[in-house]
A and B are shown apart, each in its own frame.
Chain A
Amino acid sequence: MRRRHHINFGSCRPCRFALAIGMALLSPMAWAPAAAAPAKGAASAHRPKAASFGLCADQMLMMLADPSQIASLSPTARGPLSAYAQRAKAFPINRGSAEEVIASGAKLLLQSDAVSPTSAAALRQFGIKTISIPMANSWPEIDAMVRQIAHELGQSARGEAVIKNMHQRLAQLHPTSPTNQWPSIIYYRPDGGGAGAGTFVDISLKAAGFRNLQSLWGPPQWGGIPAERVLRQPPDAFAVSYFDTSNNGTSILRRNPLLWGQARTRPIIHVPGKYWNCGSPLLVDAVELLVAERRKLIASPTYRASSSRASLSRSQRPSP
């Protein structure tokens, strides 16, 4: 804990201060949202300087903006869950306050993960454009999100290049085998939640050639498959991610001895949280990792033995 300023009120200063406060409160400026402050070192008119609150926003800003456009990033940008942790060291870090954004001369705020909704609301009043990164849970939604953010940053060309590159890589990774021959998988987070239909994890698993059982069985979105279901029809593999950054992604499977009984005899694919912390072009890295794991799985003798046995039961879809 450190004092940032030395308080030193001169003999007359308190009265001047009190007067200042009184005047400031009476002045119309204090009671009405102000016009935008003139830029302090803004990048350029059509490539505005921008700050970001929240990991997803940090990553999108680093992905799409010129370095000179980046006013500041949130602390998570350098954290273990950030895909660009190294790159983020070159930029100032904010603590998510409106003051910092105003002082940095940023004209645009990207925000995600609902980190500081009040700070963003305050900045909107002061004429700083605030964009919430939309949650993208399908590839077209990701395209649209990248386009929107790139447009706001005056980087539309870069945005299109990113989108093109993403789809090229996805096309290369796309499995050639028919869907019903894909290995099945169940994804768990450490808290027991999973990823069903309508999540960016689901589209990544599919893009890598896995049948995500939760998207077939439910629940949709971020709930998890109950252990009962797993015991009845165990998947070919489990995928886990660690968002508690403790490398303890298997904890949910370990905690339940019955689940662990299923999981210990099957491949458990660990996907680092930084690969899929939000729906963005960075998901392709997760897909790449999953494809590599899928190839290993298919090549393994245990999978080959079980797949011929299971191919019959696989055609019968479990009742929802």
Chain B
Amino acid sequence: MTHPSHPAAGLIRPVRQSSLCVGLLLLLGALMLASLNFGYVDIDQSDLIRAAFGLSDPSTNMIVQQLRMPRMLLAVMVGMSLGASGAVLQGLLHNPLAEPGTLGITGAASLGAVIAIYFGFAATTPLSLPLFAMTSAGIATLLLLFVARDNGRTLTLILLGVGISGVSVALTSLAMNLSPNPWAVSEIAMWLLGSVRDRTFQEVNLAAPFILIGLIMLMACAPSLDILSLGEDSARSLGLRVGRLRILAIGGTSLAVGAGVAVSGSVGFVGLMMPHLIRPLVGHIPSRLILPSAIGGGALVLAADIVVRLIAVGPELQLGVLTSLIGTPFFIYLVISLRKRMA
């Protein structure tokens, strides 16, 4: 099994990983600064700078420091987890269509959130929402780990992910179906569409440790992924501990993505798009893909979150809607181009 190459392979010359990362970081930094500018209240530049230091009037300080900053940080963290886990999962499963959504981790985390909303835990204790989502992502991960340890086939994992997603969707629909509260359905539906609006440092504090640990685990996958790209049997014969790699990849993904979904709902297709956009730039070497994909993912989600705030008419567009609008055509393009190359 060879590593699937990008449709645009050979057209783009690889660049050095360090310069790529620096470039992406500059882009991310610019977007982070820009994102503080946009919101629902007009704050001029000088006031914005003062407010960032806590030197403006209390309400402006509060808006900039405690609403726009956590929102910006969450968008970046969520995007980084999605980008990094997409890159790792595509390498691990030799499947260009793999991403957290495919393995059912996003779906399971959303289910946890929906249970919290449905049973009213979210209304009484807001913190139960993220806790349920992470627990549920953890259960899905344990199931994946259990199968991954016993079964060497990567295809099994993808199929198991499809199964977990299916169960999650079914139970989510069941909760919406049985809901006695007529508003719960719209609350659940909105949650599933994903957003980082009006999050505070409470959410950042809750998600950040898990996302950080998850990202470190994902980065640790890098060297092994290169060996794995030679094929699973060759990798084993070269002494690669495939089980350890799987635990790192799946554990890292579920920590980072589970915590992200818990505070932002599901933001789809970032994990699919970012690695494909970066891959030709790093010469199709899996280990060099993870860090740039993470930074790029952060930039992509943040850019999307700026766009939803720029559309100043009507209710705010949900973040997940926008990423899916961009992501689904990309997904279809990928499927079609893969089919052509296989034929």
Chain A residues in contact with chain B, CB under 8 A? 1-5, 7-9, 13-14, 16-18, 20-21, 23-25, 27, 29-34, 37-38, 40, 75, 94-100, 102-103, 105, 113-114, 116-119, 121-122, 125-126, 135, 221-222
Which B residue sits closest to A199, measured CB to CB?
B182
Q: Is A119 in contact with B198, judged by CB distance below 8 angstroms?
A: yes
Q: Is A23 in contact with B198, judged by CB distance below 8 angstroms?
A: no
Q: Which of B52, B183, B199, B310 contacts A24 (CB 8 A)?
A: B52
Known: A4-B42, A40-B59. A24 touches B202 (CB 8 A): no
Bound form: Cα–Cα A33–B202 in Å: 8
Known: A18-B29, A31-B201, A113-B183. A99 touches B65 (CB 8 A): no
B335: CB under 8 A from chain A?
A: no
B5: CB under 8 A from chain A?
A: no
Known: A4-B38, A20-B49. A29 touches B54 (CB 8 A): yes
Q: Is A125 in contact with B69, judged by CB distance below 8 angstroms?
A: no
Which B residue sits closest to A37, measured CB to CB?
B58
Q: Mark out the residues of chain B between 14 and 60 whose CB falls within 8 Å of any chain A CB in the assembled complex.
A: 29-30, 32-34, 36-42, 44-45, 49, 52-54, 57-60
Q: Is B186 in contact with A114, judged by CB distance below 8 angstroms?
A: yes
Bound form: Cα–Cα A267–B212 in Å: 64
Q: Is B202 in contact with A14, judged by CB distance below 8 angstroms?
A: no
Q: Is B40 in contact with A95, judged by CB distance below 8 angstroms?
A: yes
Task: Point out the residues of chain B lying under 8 angstroms from A1, CB to CB.
Answer: 310-313
Please, could you name 23 A-B residue pairs with CB atoms under 8 Å apart, sorted by A? A1-B312, A4-B42, A7-B34, A9-B33, A18-B33, A23-B53, A24-B53, A24-B54, A24-B65, A27-B54, A29-B65, A33-B200, A37-B57, A40-B57, A97-B39, A97-B197, A99-B40, A103-B63, A114-B183, A118-B199, A122-B67, A125-B66, A221-B180
Task: Point out the residues of chain B lying under 8 angstroms from A13, CB to CB.
Answer: 45, 49
Give the B interface residue count (CB, 8 A). 56
Task: Point out the residues of chain B lying under 8 angstroms from A95, CB to CB.
Answer: 40, 314-316
B223: CB under 8 A from chain A?
A: no
Q: Which of B54, B59, B186, B197 contacts A102 (CB 8 A)?
A: B59
For the complex of A and B, list the 9 residue pairs with the smallest distance between their C-beta atoms, beginning with the closest.
A20-B52, A37-B58, A114-B183, A119-B198, A97-B40, A103-B41, A114-B187, A98-B198, A99-B40
Q: Is B37 in contact with A5, judged by CB distance below 8 angstroms?
A: yes
Q: Is A97 in contact with B316, judged by CB distance below 8 angstroms?
A: yes
Q: Which of B44, B58, B126, B205 contacts A121 (CB 8 A)?
A: B126
Q: Which of B40, B49, B57 contacts A16 (CB 8 A)?
A: B49
Q: Is A103 in contact with B59, judged by CB distance below 8 angstroms?
A: yes
Q: How far is the CB of B233 from chain A (nearest CB, A)?
A: 48
Task: Point out the residues of chain A lying under 8 angstroms from B57, CB to CB.
Answer: 37, 40
B235: CB under 8 A from chain A?
A: no
Bound form: Cα–Cα A119–B66 in Å: 12
Q: How far is the CB of A234 from chain B (nearest CB, A)?
A: 27
Known: A17-B33, A25-B69, A99-B63. A118 touches B40 (CB 8 A): no
Q: Is B29 in contact with A125, judged by CB distance below 8 angstroms?
A: no
B285: CB under 8 A from chain A?
A: no
Bound form: Cα–Cα A31–B187 in Å: 28
Bound form: Cα–Cα A114–B205 in Å: 25
Given contacts A9-B33, A121-B126, A122-B199, 7 further A-B pairs with CB under 8 A are: A4-B42, A29-B66, A95-B314, A97-B198, A98-B67, A117-B123, A122-B67
Q: Mark out the residues of chain B between 140 and 168 whose CB falls within 8 Å of any chain A CB in the assembled complex.
A: none
